[in-house]
Structure 1
Amino acid sequence: MSPTALALDPAAQDLLFREAHTAHSFSDEPVTDEQVHAVYDLVKYAPTAYNQSPLRVTLLRTPEARGRLLPLLSEGNRAKTAEAPLTAILSVDLEFHQRLPELLPARPQLKDTVYADPDLRRAHGSFNATLQAGYFLLGVRAAGLAAGPMSGFDAEGVDKEFFGDGRQHALLVVNIGHPHADSYRPRNPRLPAEEAVTSL
């Protein structure tokens, strides 16, 4: 499919998708709060069910905070996390429904009806926060940064260490920074549209 079949400028397509890779190492150039806030302020407009917006982003900047996380990561993720300029824990706010009257004023009753059920709230919140995590990774790329998302960690341990009140549940750990020449591994194949897309 030609890049011209898309409304997005081809250079932006490359920045977000074709030329972007998961980063495994970074330069020592810092990532600022302003950059991260700009990323969030862009991706917050992407859809979630009932506009529930359950993603929360916890930035680990200090060596002390990073040191609390490292033992909870799989061994292969520790060194690159210790050296990354910024690490974020992406989590779901399991009490997201408390903000629904503000975020969805047309249906404020959802807070006390549908989402009064904590199991349903956890399932729906986790799904929608995971969607937002994907949007966040694209936002990092849009900022000219690289992301190294990792699922290899002790989620219960992270919850206990960083979210002791039980309100948040960790979904993804992401290293963020400016890539350098050896940040990336060779790209693996992807399925073609002819195999992944079906018309009925």
Structure 2
Amino acid sequence: MITGGNKSLGYETARRLRDGGHRVVIGARDAERGQRAAEELGVEWVEIDVTSDESVAAAAKEVRERFGGLDVLVNNAGISGPFAAIDEFDGPAVLAVLDTNTVGVVRTTHAFLPLLRESAAPVVVNVTSGLGSFTVRSDETRIEHSLPTLGYSASKAAVNMLTSVYAQFLPELRVNTVDPGYTATDFNGHSGPQTVTEGTDAIVAMASIGADGPTGTFTDRHGAVGW
């Protein structure tokens, strides 16, 4: 199950996991886009808005009724929030980003946890960003250092902490967070130097681990990332 699976990184993740032999379900908040993407990919889809408790609960119920179980949840849905000067950010702007990117992970994980616990090898992959890494943002050689992404960075730093805590207190699951890297997507006007295939390397790798795989890690396509 991949949230935000109708475009960009989510779409490419779905394609690659489908090709790897997984039965893939993409989640989309827009029914028309979700159905179109699913038909293009030859996968299943469910409607889900990660900002709505009711929508997420309904999606989890639908997955159980239609597919009977769930082995892997990829929390990919997210928004960038405004690209603006730091003094232009206000409470509502940041709250909207946190609600989607951070609380959305909690809503979705909570709703799908009963299904995941029934799996022999349950896996959760949380898609984060180097913009949410204290290590990366403090490195003056990285592009992330120069971007005033207040709400987005805060939301992804929080996702990293959620991952760490989930991994500690849900030892029966493998819960990891991954940074796709600076990838050409709608988020950045397709300015990133990486292709979407390169950007999904870490997502696909962590979605494909087994019961003996790592948990509580933060990686990108090159390896470990500093928190």
TM-score, structure 2 as length reference: 0.28
TM-score by length of 1: 0.31
> Which has the higher relative contact order, 1 or 2, with Cα contacts under 8 A spaced 6 or more apart?
1
Larger radius of gyration: 1
